Amino acid sequence: MKKNIFYVFMGIWLFGAITLNADFLMPNQAFKPYAKVNDRQQIITGVKIAKSIYLYEKELKIELLEPKGLYIKSIEAPTAVEHEGEKVFLQTPEFVLTLGKDDSLSGIVDAKVKIVYQGCSEEGLCYEPSEKVLSVKIDVSKLGNAKESKEQTTAQKSETDMIADTIKSSSFFVVLATFFVFGVLLSLTPCVFPMIPIISGLIVSQGEGLTTKKAFFLSLVYVLAMALAYTIAGVLAGLFGANLQAALQNPWVVYSFAAVFVALALSMFGYYELKLPDALVSKVSQNSNRSGFVGVAIMGFLSALIVGPCVAAPLAGALVYIGQTGDALLGGAALFTMSLGMGLPLIVVGVSAGKFMPKPGAWMTLVNAIFGVLMLGVAIWMLEKVVSYEVIVLLYSFLGIGFGLYLGALTQEGHIFKRTVAFLLFIYSVALFVGVLAGNASMTKPLGFLTAKEKSHVSAQNANALEFQVVKNKEELQKLLDANRGKKVLLDFSAAWCTACKELEEVTFKDPAVQKKMREFVLIRADLTENSKEQKELAKAYGVFGPPVILLFDKSGKLLESKRIVGFVEPELFLQRVDF
């Protein structure tokens, strides 16, 4: 009774508000329910909403009324976004109903679908709950069996959601084994490569008396610390939606960590010895052979957060599972085992560095110098996130020139092979330096500015470059989505500090077939570089835990969740995902 009285007063107030303010839309103008049937006899239904109108997710319900014997097997639903503390649909939500039938039905039948909805206007007017019964004709003879329906439903899910479902439906040990394999595969991606010179340098820096056993335990400590940091960050991100890796890409943090690698490099060049104070070492352990473990653990922990791996589908799937269920234990265990899988090759590298280290002498000095140069290379690679590309190429040229001179590029002494390698490195690095001075910063074609043909080629490349419209908050994005209704939209979540984003840009987006396909879309880039409050809200609204993530919208403005791309993908797979 009280509920009915509430709706009566709501109706009176609504009528008065609409009468007094002509800008407010009537309910039948604001909301237009619809239903249709596709070739697979699935019911496509939703509520078309006018501009500045939104629907509450919790109030939207769909029910199949008749005929008897026809039922809903599954519903593919769009993703709601956060708006003023509620989950809402800011664009027309469209639902795909996969149907099933019993043996009593045949031929073409009339089906009735009831859709219940309630929404508000951005101007502050909230409409009373409404419902609509819609009729469609279904050819039940074309309905697939249960197995086909299940396969179709699985195909409609994104890779991330499928991985999240794997955690939900599999046993604890199956989940751990699966994520360990995921980790081993992720270890082959460029995101993990910078850790190789780090772990190798740390092992080599231990100096004389390093055994294979100690090299193994040092490597294991590094990987365990890395896994612990990655797990903590992942669990917190899943529970609170925070991109902790992005928070650590603050320029001062990057500068500080790059300085650590420079300090390590100078230590390997023999300028000084980095170690804990003897008094502190004696307190930590009576065995001086363990004094290096603390430093290695710290480097492993920090490497995971700052140098470490990018967001990929397995990571995103675990974070989705944690966010949906709150089960941080299983989700965290999955992340931990995935990190161990990623660290397995690092342990092999670390043990190899200890096992095959040459005996003290000239070779030891050369090995230390090589790893010192690698450490400086990692420092420069890190600075790519905060300084211009021209400066990065200039720093690489300085590093190459210095190392080439150290190896004897301009001397007559030493082995011919060593001098040849040194001379080639020196010439290439000088070319990089000259190219930067000439305004052509390029690691692959440093002297491209010398030929007019190359200039025209570069100009043609620039002319054909894909142009993204950049947004940094939800309001800017929504305006672009509204303005491009009726067109397909590709939304790229990216950041300047994201390694996989650069790989996607340099490899996938420069592929001719990919460029041709992407010109079918309106290209929008959500820039998360600053990790500001607005950018965090934008990422959270679309379930993005970190870049790169690519979302696709059809011509009606519907987000195609099953087409979500997480992490770096090769051009061939990218073309498959964006083909619709």
| CA pair distance 376, 381, nearest whole angstrom | 9
User: Do 40 and 131 fall into the same domain?
Assistant: yes
Cβ atoms 78, 51 nearer than 8 A: no
Half-sphere exposure (CA, 13 Å, Cβ side) for 436? 17
Query: How many other C-beta atoms are found inside a 10 Å radius of the C-beta of residue 461?
Result: 10
Where among 155, 174, 202 does a domain terminate? Answer: 155
296-315 burial, b at 16+ Cβ within 10 Å, e below that, comes to bbebbbbbbbbbbbbbbbbb
Judge whether 382 lies within some domain: no
Average pLDDT on 183-204 reads 74
Hey, what are 229's tokens? 């940091």
DSSP secondary-structure letter at 309?
P
402-424 burial, b at 16+ Cβ within 10 Å, e below that, comes to ebbeebbbeeeeeeeeebeebbe
Where among 155, 183, 204 does a domain terminate? Answer: 155
- Comparing 458 with 206, the larger pLDDT belongs to 206
Q: Which of 103-112, 291-300, 417-426, 446-455 shows the highest mean pLDDT? A: 417-426
Judge whether 14 lies within some domain: no
What proportions of the chain, in percent to the nearest 5, are helix, strand and coil? 55, 15, 30
Tell me: pLDDT of 327 over 90: no
* Helices and strands: H and E segment counts in the chain: 22, 16
Euclidean distance between the first and final Cα of the chain, in Å?
50
Residues in the chain: 580
Average pLDDT on 13-34 reads 67
Judge whether 362 lies within some domain: yes
User: Do 444 and 483 fall into the same domain?
Assistant: no
Tens of pLDDT, residues 464-503: 568 899 999 888 998 998 888 888 999 999 887 777 788 7
**What's the pLDDT score for residue 562?**
79
Cβ atoms 540, 82 nearer than 8 A: yes
Tens of pLDDT, residues 117-165: 998 888 778 888 889 999 998 888 777 544 444 444 444 555 666 677 6
User: Sign of the CA dihedral 158, 159, 161, 166?
Assistant: positive
User: Do 455 and 524 fall into the same domain?
Assistant: no
Q: Where do runs of H (alpha helix) occur along 193-250?
A: 195-204, 212-240, 244-247
104-124 burial, b at 16+ Cβ within 10 Å, e below that, comes to ebeeebebebbbebbbbbeee
User: Do 281 and 150 fall into the same domain?
Assistant: no
What are 76's strand-pairing partners? Answer: 96
Q: Give SS3 for 491.
A: strand
User: Sign of the CA dihedral 181, 182, 188, 192?
Assistant: negative
Judge whether 8 lies within some domain: no
* Helix or strand (DSSP H, E) at 31: strand 31-37
Judge whether 67 lies within some domain: yes
**What's the pLDDT score for residue 35?**
92
Tell me: pLDDT of 190 over 80: no
Name, in order, each residue with C-beta under 8 angstroms of 48's C-beta and a sequence gap of 6 or more.
31, 32, 33, 34, 92
Where among 376, 409, 437 does a domain terminate? Answer: 376
User: Do 514 and 427 fall into the same domain?
Assistant: no
Judge whether 19 lies within some domain: no
User: Do 369 and 434 fall into the same domain?
Assistant: no
User: Do 260 and 361 fall into the same domain?
Assistant: yes
**What's the pLDDT score for residue 506?**
80
Tokens 């560095």 sit on residue = 353
Is there a cis peptide before residue 67, judged by omega within 30 degrees of 0?
Answer: yes
Tens of pLDDT, residues 386-413: 787 788 889 999 999 988 888 888 887 7
| CA pair distance 164, 155, nearest whole angstrom | 14
Judge whether 285 lies within some domain: yes
The CATH number for 541's domain is 3.40.30.10
**442 to each of 239, 383, 393, 430, 446, how far by Cα in Å?**
42, 16, 7, 12, 5
How many domains in the chain? 4
Q: What percent of the chain clears pLDDT 70, i.e. is strictly above it?
A: 74
User: Do 457 and 479 fall into the same domain?
Assistant: no
**What's the pLDDT score for residue 5?**
52
Tens of pLDDT, residues 56-103: 888 888 988 888 878 888 888 887 887 777 888 888 888 988 888 777
**What's the pLDDT score for residue 247?**
58
With cut-offs at 50, 70 and 90, classify the pLDDT of residue 524.
very high
| CA pair distance 29, 22, nearest whole angstrom | 13
Judge whether 477 lies within some domain: yes
Tokens 């006899």 sit on residue = 41
User: Do 248 and 300 fall into the same domain?
Assistant: yes
**Domain span at 340:** 161-376
User: Do 268 and 405 fall into the same domain?
Assistant: no
Tens of pLDDT, residues 406-421: 888 888 777 788 888 8
User: Do 346 and 402 fall into the same domain?
Assistant: no
User: Do 245 and 133 fall into the same domain?
Assistant: no
Half-sphere exposure (CA, 13 Å, Cβ side) for 252? 0
With cut-offs at 50, 70 and 90, classify the pLDDT of residue 242.
low
DSSP secondary-structure letter at 56?
E
Cβ atoms 293, 218 nearer than 8 A: yes
The amino acid that residue 27 corresponds to is P
